[in-house]
Amino acid sequence: MLSPELKDRAVMITGGANGIGAAMVHAFHRQGAKVFFCDCDRTTGRRLAASLGERAVFDYVDLTQERAIVAWVAAIRRCARRIDVLVNNAARDPRLDFRRTTARAWDDLFALNLRAYFLTCREAMPAMRAGASIINLGSIVFHAGPARLCAYVATKGGVLGFTRSLARELGPRGIRVNTVSPGWVMTKRQLRDFITPATRKFILRQQCLPGLIQPDEIADVVVFLASEASRAMTGQKFLVDRGWHHS
């Protein structure tokens, strides 16, 4: 579905080189938006931007560094003047035994998975006008609470709380803030590192709907939340998990 109002809009996406992020870059590019995306994967990010042409701009950004985020957003503002959509997607999900998790590992994960969301929002917000949309990526794991993901689950719980409060704070300016929480998405990394025949069977047992979730299914919901079709929605959590968690 095309959303004509997204044509020529400035869209920021973190973690846009691979997986769900790359699917979102493609989705917004198809809408005619100008997409500014960052990643720590220089090679793939540059290749993706080159394949899409001048409406896709890639930058290498270390999202754990405040100065890097400030500089990246400032560069976008010089180019685009205003920012219409911000998608906070970049995150890591390491499997860590709680007893062996160091304070450094915990802090590093929060720096990328939560603090970076705060910093991108803080820096982009002055360039946002009424009708702008912020979409933060959460995760089904917040509801499932699996073992060996305590740190990751904690960051995603923080994303939900951050979204709710920021929606209240930015609402008077007409800026919407929502969370999209994907289920288990079949990205190349997940397929390579975690998906086995047994895992596939487990996922399908948990879901209401058959089939495995693909990155473009998440991207379509994010585009919807950036469009005027969702103009009355803010402060909300949208589970895109084929019915894994329902209550």
Two tokens at 1?
């579905």
Q: Residue 69: what pLDDT?
A: 98
**197: Cβ contacts below 8 Å, ≥ 6 apart:** none
Q: Which of 152, 162, 184, 238 is catalytic?
A: 152
- DSSP string for 40-58: S-HHHHHHHHHHH-TTEEE
**Can 152 be counted among the known catalytic residues?**
yes
Q: Residue 4: what pLDDT?
A: 86
| CATH number for the domain whose boundaries are 4-185+214-240 | 3.40.50.720
Q: Residue 71: what pLDDT?
A: 98
Q: Residue 106: what pLDDT?
A: 95
Q: Residue 247: what pLDDT?
A: 58
- Of residues 144, 153, 28, 164, the one with CA closest to residue 92: 153
pTM of the model: 0.96
Q: Residue 194: what pLDDT?
A: 87
Q: What is the pLDDT of residues 94-140, one digit of tens each?
A: 888 899 999 999 999 999 999 999 999 999 999 999 999 999 999 99
Q: Residue 148: what pLDDT?
A: 84
Q: Indicate the domain borders of the chain.
A: 4-185+214-240
The sign of the torsion formed by the CA atoms of 183, 184, 189, 191 equals negative
CA dihedral in degrees (206, 208, 210, 212; nearest 10)?
Answer: -50
**236: Cβ contacts below 8 Å, ≥ 6 apart:** 178, 179
Q: Evaluate whether 183 touches 242 at the Cβ level (below 8 Å).
A: yes
Which residues of the chain, if any, have pLDDT below 50? none
